[in-house]
Amino acid sequence: MKKSQFKLMLSGCILGASLLATSCQKQSASFVDPAKFDTTIDGKKTGLYFLKNEQGTTAAITNFGGRLVSFAIQDKNGDFKDVVLGFDNIESYIKVPSDFGASIGRYANRIDSAWYVLNGDTVRLEPNDRPNSLHGGFRGWQYKIYSVKETTPNSITLVYNSPDGDGKFPGNVTATVKYTLDNDNALEIDYTATTDKPTVINMTNHSYFNLNGDPNTPINNCHLYINSDTYTPINDHMIPTGEIAPVAGTAFDLNKMEEIGKKIDDFSDAQVKTGNGFDHNWCLKTYKNGDEKAICASLYSPVTGILLDVYTNEPGIQCYSGNFLNGTVTGKKGIVYKKHAGICLETQKYPNSPNMPEWPSATLNPGETYHSYCKFAFSVK
């Protein structure tokens, strides 16, 4: 080969690599169109914001509900996959009741019979889940417009000022959610909150993950690990019975990677039958051991090779296996979301903690700062 031919070939390879990198960056961001998220609600503007890293991984976030709309990452074949459920336009988020990707507040999960007692006073909430209060009531923070406080190429900080009586919860609360995407494909979420009256706070992210990269393929084939020896069984109204039960000998023992379908379809386990799958809280050993740098849960798809490791400072993780997705909701790319199209891994306080004084407290007092931390660390195996 002549020297000139080699130089030409090398130049072509460099140009091709450059174009491929540019193409990957565009592809990773093109799962959702930011123009479809520009609107005004109650005088407040909504938009779509992209966080990108050196690998082309992209997180798309809207300030409507502080939601993670898309997370695009390369699979084992180098193809970008969007691994979270949601909609590709703001109108669907507004019109279709959902928790897809949301920053939940004031209180994630259920509060029994929609009331609790705090400092001797009974606080009565909105019963929006049969007799219970769920995810902050009828208009929880997943339907609120967060203000965009700060953006960088790899982070966004959102703020919501929740007035006294919001969802019938007491106290003016200022809540902050910060998303940060690092170059190792970890999405960190930091929550803080302050209040001017005693109240309860329990924030989480409600993303539905499908690491297959295609919601037409349910998560049954994925493998799940939860670092826990105990969980909180539920009654027929999905409220914890108060028992802290061992997972040993039950479908809830996930101390080694298990295929999810073998667990969530095991209706011989009375608790799986009650939840119509997994809709339960595991008590995390990472909290008990005071080690938030240890993995509390892992999710893996053998189809894409994508692995998700979860870290948190919270005492519990609610695993919800998309049991009530029933084909009535059409998401991104026109895909109809059917049962088990996605799985949620919500780091949080235990459900109904305001009524369980022996459990880790969700109370926030004036002068205190609530802080919750979650990291979704993605890799490919």
Task: Return the active site residues.
Answer: 206, 346
DSSP 161-201: EEPTTGGG--S-EEEEEEEEE-TTSEEEEEEEEEESS-EE-
Answer yes or no: are the C-beta atoms of 157 and 176 closer than 8 Å.
yes
Of the candidates 76, 58, 55, 11, the one whose C-alpha atom is nearest the C-alpha of residue 302 is 76
Site of tokens 């799986």? 272
Q: How far apart are CA 64 and CA 236, in angstroms?
A: 32
* Length reported for the chain: 381
- List the Cα angle 272/273/275 in 5-degree steps: 65
Q: How far apart are CA 160 and CA 149, in angstroms?
A: 10
Q: What are residue 230's DSSP bridge partners? A: 246, 283
- Alpha carbon distances (Å) from 311 to 20, 281, 308, 356, 375: 33, 15, 10, 25, 5
